[in-house]
Chain A
């Protein structure tokens, strides 16, 4: 069992208390935690899934353009942040497990602990429109 660093533990505590949807991922992109508002986007509760490897949650979270064409992973803000360790931002559509299409705006920020340890990222979603 991997024990999470204190920065991610406190990050999870923080986003657990937010009313905006947030994902918390490790440096490999594994989805460590998503809060209750983010459950609406994925269409599934964290209590049902727990943490998910990137291969698993990327099949749930299917980003598309307005025409419904799949977007390449490297165009997604969270992937850019994990790759370059820099903030990134973007908008796209997703179809969740409930079959709902969402327009979501995403800001992804890297999480760097002391002293400059890259620990993962947070993706913050807002202005989501339910179809």
Chain B
């Protein structure tokens, strides 16, 4: 299973010379194995991903953790949607009432976007999921609702013995009875448990988090504590605050490492980074 980061910025694209190392595109991660192509979230990073695809690709799957704009804003610029020879599947969270198709149409319609879903040359196939288990190609996927405003899923992807977990927007300190001590009562634990690699929200410093509780995101420290609770092997901090430059990100990360002394591999996710599992 190959994992490539096309965007790991949170909330808002942040291009600029001050954001070269970690990148400015919002959430988009490519997961591939043989002919299987899965894309996690449709943030602004999906635009470059779409341009890079092999002409041999005939089918791909976009798994949306949730429909906040930073995770969907790139979809209209995703070239495979305009190629009648490619079948695109959208997978996303169920709500109590409104179908996923209707919620996606809100983006694919004026005034947000000029092209409607039914005007695409090949209509995407829509899959609604919740606490689900399903298989795409050789990759087994488990989804579960996690703590973030609105219906939001985490994804656990298993290829043989390798596990990749993805929770770009997650606030386990709020979604826990006794964080970070009770796995059974911690949001997202079943998604991350013993993963080889976890991409997890770490948008704020611990001090910043105190004024943003309930916004659905984590501090760097809480991300490290969550990764330790779940006994992951590697943690890539994701969803970087758009206000933070490379210099600032490196600084607050070093401060976090000093404060928490993690006994496992923790680092800041970088756009363009590639991981091979298995």
Tell me the total A-B contact number using a CB cutoff of 8 A: 55
Contacts of B272 in A (CB 8 A): none
Asked if B145 contacts A6 (CB within 8 A), the reply is yes
Asked if A6 contacts B187 (CB within 8 A), the reply is yes
Asked if A9 contacts B151 (CB within 8 A), the reply is no
Q: Which A residues, 9 to 47, have Cβ-Cβ distances below 8 Å to chain B?
A: 9-10, 12-13, 16, 33
Query: B130, B175, B183: which contacts A10 (Cβ < 8 A)?
Result: B175
Asked if A114 contacts B94 (CB within 8 A), the reply is yes
Asked if A4 contacts B145 (CB within 8 A), the reply is no
Q: Tell me if B144 is interfacial: C-beta within 8 Å of chain A.
A: yes
Interface residues in A, total, Cβ within 8 A: 19
Query: B146, B147, B151, B186: which contacts A114 (Cβ < 8 A)?
Result: B151
Q: Tell me if A66 is interfacial: C-beta within 8 Å of chain B.
A: no
Asked if B175 contacts A6 (CB within 8 A), the reply is yes
**Central interface residue in A9, A13, A33, by most chain B CB within 10 Å:** A9
Contacts of A116 in B (CB 8 A): 96
**Central interface residue in B95, B130, B183, B185, by most chain A CB within 10 Å:** B185
Asked if B185 contacts A114 (CB within 8 A), the reply is no
Contacts of A16 in B (CB 8 A): 177
Query: Cα distance A19–B145 when bound, in Å?
Result: 28
Residues of A within 8 A of B (CB): 1-7, 9-10, 12-13, 16, 33, 112-117
- 19 CB < 8 A contacts A-B: A1-B184, A3-B183, A3-B190, A6-B145, A6-B175, A6-B187, A7-B145, A9-B176, A9-B187, A10-B147, A12-B177, A13-B174, A13-B177, A33-B177, A114-B93, A114-B130, A114-B151, A115-B130, A116-B96
Q: Return the 9 tightest CB-CB contacts between A and B, nearest first.
A: A115-B94, A3-B190, A6-B145, A6-B187, A114-B96, A12-B177, A9-B175, A3-B189, A1-B184
